[in-house]
Structure 1
């Protein structure tokens, strides 16, 4: 019944991108514009992933595995740029280096098949982004930014990626370890709902944020 829901994710990413461009004037610097770039890149990935098999005859896992590398790198780089404390910046750099090393070691020695998702790398990426996001929220709650944090595009973007990745990780691992049945309808439904939550946060961020809080 819900098997085709995941194919509508592309429209969620497209809607977020359109609204992002509509409120482009609220993005005052490269750091803020980088968020819109990440969302547009997500839309392009969904577009290519949807038609990759039709165009090439190959399974599209390689598209999403590359997106995994690019997206988690982008999240970590963005959080690095947002940090004020030097120790948090250093942690972000270490996490990025470890993630790259793990990703390519996993690619060449463990999950080297083209017909599988790199769940190991995804899990590590989620853990790193979660920890760095906690550092970001700690900085916010210990500064004057706490008074207007809902008016920042950065808050809504980070909240969005957490609402998608953190719940999706145990769901994906449960499927991998056969703890739950790999049902196509359930998978598509969960994927669509989490993408709806994530893109909903992006859209709220573009609508509610104010330019002066997006520096």
Structure 2
């Protein structure tokens, strides 16, 4: 059972997300609260995934994100926004958010996105991914990115490509014919060598470096 905490200042949106997700047999919304209650509620309920509004009147979503990630067992956090491009999104990604969703995401897609987050995937709304990639990386140094990528083994580079394609640990394991535990080890190595603290940051680096190619099955090695 995937435990989800919904954090938003709008009661109607909280209720809507809760009804959509609770309809799935493998997802339980443990609470739906406003921003001021988020960290305290997360500490009490231990959610696996938090869907967090990026802008709330009672507390800054980025402040809540930082508090959630400081918990002893931090949840996976995806930001919610109503904007096609929100300046806060870039800061949130740099701070360790696992991705972001537009609040008008198709209700049928929401459970699948939550499952992907719980399984280690990164989620970026397709409507704004390109803008985020450009703005997230525009101040970066291509030469520095290239040096970091050179640290990766061929196997780790293959894992990075699949991370950038949005695959979860389970999906990567199936694609590469590896155990999930081995994939987790490879992901940890990739994040360390790239000097990033989340899969979504690694995915954005791969996007900028032009590593995305049509997927292909890989033999174990």
Q: Name the TM-score class by shorter chain.
A: 0.3 to 0.5
Higher normalized contact order (CA 8 Å, seq sep 6+, divided by chain length): 1
Considering fraction of residues, name the structure with more helix. 1
Considering fraction of residues, name the structure with more strand. 2
The alignment's TM-score, normalised by the length of structure 1, stands at 0.32
The alignment's TM-score, normalised by the length of structure 2, stands at 0.31
